[in-house]
Structure 1
């Protein structure tokens, strides 16, 4: 196996334990990889402004894969190395499908996340308790989501929805599949649905960054636990599933490490990189 030179790490359920912390051992492993000259980046469904500073402030972390691969950013220069937004008419069509199902609808636009004031103030019970602070602090509140979409029609990176029940989420999922079959649909949390432009997901975004850096697939390692990690775990030269990962992710991974509360990321870096 070629030496790993690029490591993509999912955040929730992977790098972060259930208290949303990077443990000392995991931090030390990331730092050791960076000091060895390996590029280590967050690979997340969040916007670039929503990536926690406890990761991006680690000296040497230069890149961030965000919005499920719709945007890969150089954190030093702020250059978008990968930019794969929705085509405007498809974004409009997707919005028209998901809006009637309610829930908390957020639209990720050019590195920022937007939601309505009503969502931000009255629907937080739909968000898992350990993510409510992130939700409150990362959303820009607007009165009219549809107007916001129209004002930024060529900058839509992702739709993110949280629903009150799995049943509502599943009905919305089926509606999108029927009306917009070309859209990429994933989930990263219970009762969550995320939409990206056709062909856009973490895997292609990661491979585009690797190509930009002059690296081969065999030099890339990706670690994840949930549905939106599927393509990057599958496409990386070394795909690593967390022990707490879904069966879908474990099935496409090359190896399985410990869970996110027992330094699974550190164990994988120590074994396969250091």
Structure 2
């Protein structure tokens, strides 16, 4: 059975990347092993494709990249193969609300991640508020979570989303981030019933919005078709709720050892954690 796998879709954060946000030597070797055996290894992430390219720059690998939670698919040579943007009216409706409510947000577009100039200030204020309400909170963990957001490549800072109106900016994904539980909850409530927009979460402090025809699962299906690979011959591994659509549709699926129980329950198997090279473990289990 296992040698039928022809395509493996791999999430990045919490999956392929370790706690230092790097791809370990073991994971890299496993990907090379898969490729040497004629298996297409595809990166499927909420990140922007240009950010993924930066992460892979040192590795010598140029995989297909499903980016922005499935809103974009880029070819190994970097060219855009497929994309689904949020309708502009929907995008501005969302962004205006996020600005009014003083959220830190990121807009994933073709060339940049647009973020408000005062966004980092807003998060610093939130951290202080959370800390004073909850003295036992680890400030270091909050700072690490914020730093991880800021470490992406391709930021452009804007004073308001109104700057983008009338410019031909494709909005693939809108990420809202907050350290305040109630604030996150309020945002999810606000947008959960939008007709053409899907809401997913990829980490503890965020929710993400994209067109309802954009998901990692839909993108995996489109790419498998393009590469003439049956879905039964695909595999996927991930750790979060934005991975569910691809984990459910792939022929073989594994949750990371560090994934929430709900994700583990949705998969055929569970591999090791991202600190223990769980991706390599999964790849070898499929191919050996």
TM-score for the superposition, normalised by structure 1: 0.90
The answer on whether the counterparts of 2:92 and 2:161 sit within 8 Å (CA) in structure 1 is no
1:142 lines up with 2:143 in the alignment: no
Query: What does residue 35 of structure 1 align with?
Result: 36
Deviates more, 1:144-153 or 1:168-177: 144-153
**C-alpha deviations, 1:172-198, integer Å up to 9, x for none?**
1001124x2441101111110100101
RMSD: 2.1
1:209 lines up with 2:209 in the alignment: no
The answer on whether the counterparts of 2:96 and 2:161 sit within 8 Å (CA) in structure 1 is no
> How far apart, CA to CA, are the structure 2 residues paired with 1:262 and 1:209?
29
> How far apart, CA to CA, are the structure 2 residues paired with 1:22 and 1:67?
19
**172, 187, 191: which one aligns with 1:176:** 191
Larger radius of gyration: 2
Deviates more, 1:216-225 or 1:54-63: 54-63
> How far apart, CA to CA, are the structure 2 residues paired with 1:75 and 1:146?
34
1:22 lines up with 2:23 in the alignment: yes
Query: What does residue 131 of structure 2 align with?
Result: none
> How far apart, CA to CA, are the structure 2 residues paired with 1:249 and 1:122?
31
Query: What does residue 134 of structure 2 align with?
Result: none
> How far apart, CA to CA, are the structure 2 residues paired with 1:22 and 1:83?
26
Count how many residue pairs are aligned between Structure 1 and Structure 2.
271
- CA spacing shift, 1:74–1:52, aligned 2, 3 Å: closer
The answer on whether the counterparts of 1:19 and 1:130 sit within 8 Å (CA) in structure 2 is no
Query: What does residue 63 of structure 2 align with?
Result: 62
Cα shift at 1:120: 4.2
> How far apart, CA to CA, are the structure 1 residues paired with 2:230 and 2:186?
40
Query: What does residue 179 of structure 2 align with?
Result: 164
The answer on whether the counterparts of 1:149 and 1:156 sit within 8 Å (CA) in structure 2 is no
- CA spacing shift, 1:61–1:38, aligned 2, 3 Å: farther
Deviates more, 1:212-221 or 1:126-135: 126-135
> How far apart, CA to CA, are the structure 2 residues paired with 1:6 and 1:175?
37
> How far apart, CA to CA, are the structure 2 residues paired with 1:187 and 1:196?
11
**C-alpha deviations, 1:233-264, integer Å up to 9, x for none?**
11111111111112221122111111111111
TM-score for the superposition, normalised by structure 2: 0.86
Cα shift at 1:122: 5.5
The answer on whether the counterparts of 2:240 and 2:263 sit within 8 Å (CA) in structure 1 is yes
Cα shift at 1:149: 4.8
Query: What does residue 239 of structure 2 align with?
Result: 225
Query: What does residue 267 of structure 1 align with?
Result: 281
How does 1:40-119 map onto structure 2 within 5 Å?
Answer: 40-51=41-52, 53-55=54-56, 57-76=58-77, 78-119=78-119
**C-alpha deviations, 1:57-107, integer Å up to 9, x for none?**
53443311100000000131x322221111222222222343333221111
